[in-house]
Amino acid sequence: MGDLTGRRIVLGVTGGIAAYKAVDVCRRLVDAGAHVAPVLTKGALRFVGAATFDALASERVQTSLWDEQNPIPHTRLGQGADAIVVCPATARLLSDYRSGRSGDLLTATLLATRAPVVLCPAMHTEMWEQPAVQENVQVLAARGAEIVGPDVGRLAGGDMGAGRLAAPSAIVDAVERVLAGGGRDLEGRTVLVTAGGTREPICPVRYIGNRSSGKQGHALAVEAAARGAKVLCVSTVPRGAPDVPGIEVVGVDTAAEMAEAVQRLAPGADYVLMAAAVADFRPVGVADQKMKKADGPPEIRLEPTTDILAELGRTRTPGQVIVGFAAETTDLRQNAAAKLTAKGADLIVANDVTAPDTGFDHDTNAVVLLDAEGGEAVVPLAGKRQIARAVLDAAIDIRHRHNARNGETE
């Protein structure tokens, strides 16, 4: 981890109930040696007093673009910052920053900086899950902002769900990480990720499918792009895929189309992440016409599809890291470990889809990471973006270990 001694951090605080936790973040940054300049929005001042930050931070609180003592404060703050952290970041801040609006000192400072930006969203679950908010976060992440949280937990008013501000220690860790340059550790790498469930047609109308939403695969794509990778995202839900720079989306429907796309793209990829739920069997032949009820229950004969992950395990290029997923309902570790070996993957991301708030269509997940060297890590319930971060951290580690063994450096 980096050292914050002497680093200039602008701490932006917006008007959400979690603003009181920014006080703790401020204190931790100062304790770690940083010079903290607090910028509070008008909304933030309704939740916490300027005097609190005046007492704890390294400079007086600033709230306005129109300060006579201190002309053009946003350029001074933005240009002088080593990093900016916005904690909490409300839906409005995310929207303004995404669209380049600079109506107040904080948004103007964000536009006037080239320093890394850490955004810590916090809001009610309904707001966090709005497509508009999710899209803003994806775009900002793809432009290089480090998104920390939100966590799942108790929210204002007693509700439970995703939207709680990340822990202050995690926020300070993220500031250290971006300052250490760790934010772009996939620069120059190509990441191939699959997402969603395949659909195997029975007739022109019906298909055999599964409950995968593509959310975990898409979160991996966004996280990899945010870390500097060129991302190829083969998705069965291309309309739900992130439409952001750095991610090329290839839409597919069936297991055969996914296999074709992956086999074509994998040789150029440094990492392949098989997050898609691929059908193991498909109907033999597709009926030309819609099957009619009057004809009675159809007999559908099935044949196996290609196991794409196993194929990748056999045909991998030197140094390539291959990650598989295992959605299980029983014997999580045994089943996942068996898949790891049988398919020749470097890492298996296993989740128990029967556990609350995990797996299909949820915005959260909880996984166990098993690697081919016998390593195991538990990632507790968190947003799919955070799960993606842990998966990529583990995959990067594996690549470094491979390289170290082969005496190579990157």
Chain contacts with ligand CTP (rule: CB under 6 A): 255, 274, 276, 278, 280, 305, 307-309, 324-327, 339
Q: Which helix (H) or strand (E) holds 394?
A: helix 384-405
Strand duo 364-371 + 376-383: pairing: antiparallel
Q: How far is the CB of 48 from ligand CTP (least distance, A)?
A: 46
Which one-letter amino acid corresponds to residue 19? A
E strands present in 320-400 = 321-328, 347-352, 364-371, 376-383
Rank residues 260 and 307 by Cβ distance to ligand CTP and give the closer one: 307
Q: How far is the CB of 388 from ligand CTP (least distance, A)?
A: 15
- Say if CB 386 and CB 392 are below 8 A apart: no
Q: What is the DSSP letter of 227?
A: T
Rank residues 94 and 258 by Cβ distance to ligand CTP and give the closer one: 258
The whole-angstrom separation of Cα 239 and Cα 219 is 14
Rank residues 30 and 372 by Cβ distance to ligand CTP and give the closer one: 372
- Say if CB 322 and CB 348 are below 8 A apart: no
Rank residues 222 and 262 by Cβ distance to ligand CTP and give the closer one: 262
SS3 content of the chain, % helix, strand, coil (to 5): 40, 25, 35
Q: Say which of 136, 210, 351, 365 is annotated catalytic.
A: 210
Q: How far is the CB of 305 from ligand CTP (least distance, A)?
A: 5
The whole-angstrom separation of Cα 215 and Cα 223 is 12
**Alpha-carbon dihedral sign for residues 201, 204, 206, 212:** positive
Q: How far is the CB of 245 from ligand CTP (least distance, A)?
A: 26
Q: Where are the alpha helices (DSSP H) in 34-167?
A: 42-47, 50-56, 73-80, 91-99, 105-111, 125-128, 131-142
Q: Where are the alpha helices (DSSP H) in 70-227?
A: 73-80, 91-99, 105-111, 125-128, 131-142, 168-179, 215-226
* Residue 210 is among the residues annotated as catalytic for this protein: yes
Rank residues 20 and 281 by Cβ distance to ligand CTP and give the closer one: 281
Q: How far is the CB of 123 from ligand CTP (least distance, A)?
A: 32
Rank residues 172 and 326 by Cβ distance to ligand CTP and give the closer one: 326
Q: How far is the CB of 314 from ligand CTP (least distance, A)?
A: 12
For residue 1, give every residue at least 6 positions away whose Cβ sits within 8 Å of its Cβ, in sequence order, or none.
Answer: 173, 176, 177, 180
- Say if CB 353 and CB 327 are below 8 A apart: yes
**Buried (b) or exposed (e) across 17-40, using 16+ Cβ within 10 A?**
ebbebbbbbbbbbbebebbbbbbb
- Say if CB 238 and CB 249 are below 8 A apart: yes
Q: How far is the CB of 236 from ligand CTP (least distance, A)?
A: 11
Q: How many CB atoms lie within 10 A of CB 402?
A: 15
Rank residues 168 and 324 by Cβ distance to ligand CTP and give the closer one: 324
Which residues participate in catalysis according to the annotation? 210
